[in-house]
Structure 1
Amino acid sequence: MTQTFTETSVVGDIVTKFPKSSDLFKSYRIDFCCGGNRPLIEAIQERNLSAAEVLANLNALYEETTALHESRIEWEHASYSELIDHIIHKHHRYINEELPQLSPYVTKVLRVHGENQPHLAQIHRLFHELRIELEQHLIKEETVDFPLILQVEKNRTEKNVQQLQNVVDELENEHNHAGNILKELREVTNDFTPPPGACGTYRLVYQRLEDLESDLFQHIHLENNVLFPRAVSGK
């Protein structure tokens, strides 16, 4: 079998070239968004995984998917405006709709079951910390970062590139913080596994938290590993 990806392949680059790899990385709990700028072998060793197994499964999935001629948008070649529009209309829209809808359910589960299950208070705290973080973050992206990226694309100067780098550094730090909250949520929820006999609302909260994590991973990956590096470097 052809080894398209190796131990030295950068995690974020793998997901950029082969988006479906994110599903495999998620199953292995390999961070491909905030931790995407490192060789695959480092991520494998961090999780105490078998390098041979991960690489075999990754390359097999790539060959299988390529054989099906799966069409996709190559974001690494798209214009900045196309990529920004995609991020806003898919990922920002999802977050802006999902967070206020999910919040009452997180509170309800705490109110009903929190007395006997103290970890629900931690879930409630982490979720609302994440909500505040993300809501403020999206505003910064849409009012400061994205307009600046489009400005740099039209008229690239040393001054606005440095300004962009400063903004990107702030946003990536915020991504790291959001990623750490997601890791805590996954740990507290036992990989989003509801306890036996959990009610429908309880199960709903866990499933939607996992869906939120999945969308955020794709969202942060597109920014950290594709849009921001391209905009700063001018590629």
Structure 2
Amino acid sequence: MEHTFTETSIIGEIVTKFPKASDLFKSYRIDFCCSGNRPLIEAIEENQLSAEEVLSNLNNLYKETSALQESSIQWEEASYQELIDYIINKHHQYLSEELPQLSPYVTKVFRVHGSSQPHLGVIHKLFNELRVELEQHLIKEETEDFPLILDIEKNPTEEKYAKLQEVINNLENEHSHAGDILKTLREITDDYTPPEGACGTYRLVYSRLEALESDMFEHIHLENNVLFPRAAASM
């Protein structure tokens, strides 16, 4: 039987065509956002997975859900304005609300349990590093970088294209660093598994950090693998 996706399929392109693949990739710890521009087989071998199993599960999932509409927006056809509005209204808005709301809970768990569980100090440090970087990142995207993309769409010039390439490189580097922090958080929390007998706040922090990771992966994917390549291709 001919498969829709193969070992040579590009990870980011798979998720663009089939967004639900992101759930499967997350279960295998396959990075589809910051490292989404490489063939699937590279991630399979890097994580020491069975290529047959991953491809079988991926293609079966695609077959089972192919009749369903995965998104109200067809990413490959959406305008820059539609993509940017979606990113801001869904992902930027989520981070703008969640980061300050989650922060006091991360601090509380560290204060109460940190003396006996030193890894909570690392979580506290990494979360606050991520928060500061993301808050600055979102402001810059909304006030400088996204307007540049929209301006180029209407009034392209060589000077603007040169600036855009620099912007994309910087944003992708920032995304990569955020992705590294998220990976470290997952590792030191044992896949966000609270210790036995953990209090409600402890469990809440782990649950919300995992939800933050999920949203960030989708967010970075849309920018790195959809918006930026399309903008760059127009240069």
State TM-score, norm by structure 2: 0.98
Between Structure 1 and Structure 2, how many residues are aligned? Answer: 235
- State the secondary structure of the residue aligned to 1:156: coil
Counterpart residue number, 2:127: 127
Counterpart residue number, 2:197: 197
Residues 76-130 of structure 1: CA deviation (Å, up to 9, x unaligned): 1100000000000000000000000000000000011111101000000000000
Q: How far apart are the structure 2 equivalents of 1:191 and 1:48? A: 18
Tell whether the 8 Å contact from 2:7 to 2:40 is kept in structure 1 after alignment.
yes
- Alignment of structure 1 residues 166-205 onto 2, 5 Å: 166-205=166-205
State TM-score, norm by structure 1: 0.98
Tell whether the 8 Å contact from 2:18 to 2:70 is kept in structure 1 after alignment.
no
Counterpart residue number, 1:21: 21
Where do 5+ consecutive residues of structure 2 fail to align? none
Q: CA deviation at 1:72?
A: 3.9
Tell whether the 8 Å contact from 1:13 to 1:225 is kept in structure 2 after alignment.
yes
* Distance change in 2, residues 1:158/1:139 (3 Å): same
Tell whether the 8 Å contact from 2:20 to 2:70 is kept in structure 1 after alignment.
no
Q: CA deviation at 1:69?
A: 5.3
Counterpart residue number, 1:30: 30
Where do 5+ consecutive residues of structure 1 fail to align? none
* Distance change in 2, residues 1:69/1:163 (3 Å): closer
- Alignment of structure 1 residues 1-235 onto 2, 5 Å: 1-68=1-68, 72-234=72-234
* Distance change in 2, residues 1:70/1:86 (3 Å): closer
- State the secondary structure of the residue aligned to 2:5: coil
Q: CA deviation at 1:67?
A: 3.4
Q: How far apart are the structure 2 equivalents of 1:189 and 1:147? A: 38
Percent identity (aligned): 74
Q: How far apart are the structure 2 equivalents of 1:170 and 1:179? A: 14
Q: How far apart are the structure 2 equivalents of 1:57 and 1:72? A: 25
- State the secondary structure of the residue aligned to 1:123: helix
Q: CA deviation at 1:149?
A: 0.2
Runs of 4+ in 1 over 6 A off after TM superposition: none
